[in-house]
Amino acid sequence: MGLDGYDSYDSYVYNNIYSQGTNVNLPNSVNPNPNQNQIIRITANMPVRGINNIGATCYMNSVLQCLYHVYDLSNEFLKSFYDTQTLRMENLKKMPMTYALFDTIYQLAYGKKESANPKMFNDIISTNKSFKKYEANDSKNLVLYTLDKINIELNEYKLKNENNNLINAMRYYDQKNIEAKNIIQLFNNNYNSLIGDLFHGLKLLEYKCIKCNNCIKNYQIFNIITCSIQKTFETKFKQQNQIQQEKKLNIIDCFKFEQIPISFTGNNKLFCEKCNEQNDGECTTKICIAPKILILFLDRGINNRFMCDVDFSNELDINEFLEEKGNKYKLIGVIEHLGQSGPGGHFIATCKHFDGNWYMFSDSYKKFIGNEYQGTGIPYLIFYEREN
């Protein structure tokens, strides 16, 4: 069962929101009648607040901190959903996940308490069996789920992003690559939202027949890049049993590994439509258009046990791996894992605040770091923002 005995997201929304009609209460932290002259925006003077742990929610709190510290996301949420013309009961009923995130953002930016209470957000996500209350869960899965749910809500209710930079980039790309027309149309229909604009990109998988060189192009929309730490390590150092602590990877090594073609031979051959038979083949992956907010998942294998150090800098240049150049990134957040591997342990977030300084967040506890990122635990998710 999910939230408070409800067995699905829809049943929770119906019983707690739709059925109450216009008598639904806004989150306690939200003032439904703001001063008409009040400007609700993210500024450099935003206070630094933690998020209360309400029962094994460190994985959730770390995600919320990193999303909050994406300036374009938080600023647009405050502008769009606090405005008296758009803050209506119908929107709260239609977009529970969107409003749950807005509630947390508003508490962190304009709340009156030392730390935010993520109850509304926790209630919504716990209707999914993957995020049951009082159980250890995974930050990476929650990022994917949250972005997907909010994107669906924004698209379903036609809250399009009128100045979608990714849509514009795809249209330009479409003119040069006729094969990308279908996926670009799919993006325009299903991802033309603030979430799509900020967090999604376009990649290309090319399957090539070794016999006749026939190539099939498969375009895909993505929002997280998985960095295979163990496979990258073994490829770079040519050893599987190398003591991990003796060697160190750089995040660029992971991008290079992803560029290596994957071979399909033996019992795993590719079917070539041109040859009309199974042949040896290979697949290469290219990033066509990178997201504005680049999220890297450091995949350390089963139970997160491959503990090789991975260096990453405050500035990241991945232009050599892109078809569309001009993408330099700055680090804005890192989710780290402390303690035992696997689902146990503890998640924390270290984020670049709007004042330009870095802070470490362990649930409601916060600590000033300085003007550059300094790690505390094992990096798990890394958030970069493309420089303007």
Shared-domain flag, residues 146 and 236 = no
Is the pLDDT assigned to residue 11 strictly greater than 50?
no
Average pLDDT (193-204) is 90
pLDDT tens-place string over residues 154-172: 888 765 555 555 666 666 6
pLDDT tens-place string over residues 337-370: 987 655 568 999 999 999 999 999 999 999 999 9
Question: What residues pair up with 227 in beta bridges, in sequence order?
Answer: 298
Amino acid letter at 251? Answer: I
Shared-domain flag, residues 123 and 245 = no
Query: How far apart are the C-alpha atoms of 268 and 306, rounded to whole Å?
Result: 27
Average pLDDT (317-342) is 85
Q: Are 34 and 40 in contact (CB under 8 A)?
A: yes
Query: How far apart are the C-alpha atoms of 44 and 353, rounded to whole Å?
Result: 8
Beta strands in 171-230 (DSSP E): 201-209, 215-222, 225-228
Using the 3D structure, point to which of 134, 159, 184 is the last residue of a domain. 159
pLDDT at 376: 85
Query: How far apart are the C-alpha atoms of 285 and 261, rounded to whole Å?
Result: 7
Amino acid letter at 340? Answer: Q
Average pLDDT (205-216) is 92
Confidence of residue 73 (pLDDT cuts 50, 70, 90): very high
- State which residues form the domain around 249: 223-260+291-388
The DSSP secondary-structure symbol of 363 reads T
Q: Which of the two residues, 185 and 78, has the higher pLDDT score? A: 78
Average pLDDT (20-45) is 56
pLDDT at 24: 33
Is the pLDDT assigned to residue 148 strictly greater than 90?
yes
- Domain assignment present for 150: yes
Using the 3D structure, point to which of 138, 159, 180 is the last residue of a domain. 159
Q: Classify residue 203 by burial, with Cβ atoms within 10 Å: 0-12, 13-18, 19+.
A: buried
295 by DSSP, 3-state: which? strand
Q: Give this prediction's pTM.
A: 0.87
Q: Which residue has the tokens 């959903």?
A: 81
pLDDT at 343: 55
Shared-domain flag, residues 21 and 95 = yes
- Token pair, residue 3, equals 């939230």
Amino acid letter at 239? Answer: Q
Shared-domain flag, residues 143 and 228 = no
Shared-domain flag, residues 127 and 239 = no
pLDDT tens-place string over residues 215-230: 988 888 899 999 999 8
Query: How far apart are the C-alpha atoms of 241 and 317, rounded to whole Å?
Result: 31
Using the 3D structure, point to which of 159, 175, 197 is the last residue of a domain. 159
- Domain assignment present for 177: no
- Domain assignment present for 195: no
- Domain assignment present for 333: yes
Is the pLDDT assigned to residue 31 strictly greater than 60?
no
96 by DSSP, 3-state: which? helix
CATH code (residue 16): 3.90.70.10
The total of structural domains in the chain comes to 2
Q: Classify residue 238 by burial, with Cβ atoms within 10 Å: 0-12, 13-18, 19+.
A: exposed
Average pLDDT (237-260) is 81
CA angle 221, 222, 228 (to 5 degrees): 140
pLDDT tens-place string over residues 249-277: 999 999 999 989 999 999 999 999 899 99
pLDDT at 167: 65
- Domain assignment present for 85: yes
pLDDT above 90: percentage of residues in the chain: 49
pLDDT at 8: 38
- Domain assignment present for 212: no
Q: Are 144 and 83 in contact (CB under 8 A)?
A: no
Query: How far apart are the C-alpha atoms of 27 and 89, rounded to whole Å?
Result: 11
Shared-domain flag, residues 19 and 95 = yes
Confidence of residue 23 (pLDDT cuts 50, 70, 90): very low
Helices within 111-250 (DSSP H only): 119-125, 139-156, 165-176, 181-190, 194-199, 229-237
Question: What residues pair up with 115 in beta bridges, in sequence order?
Answer: 50
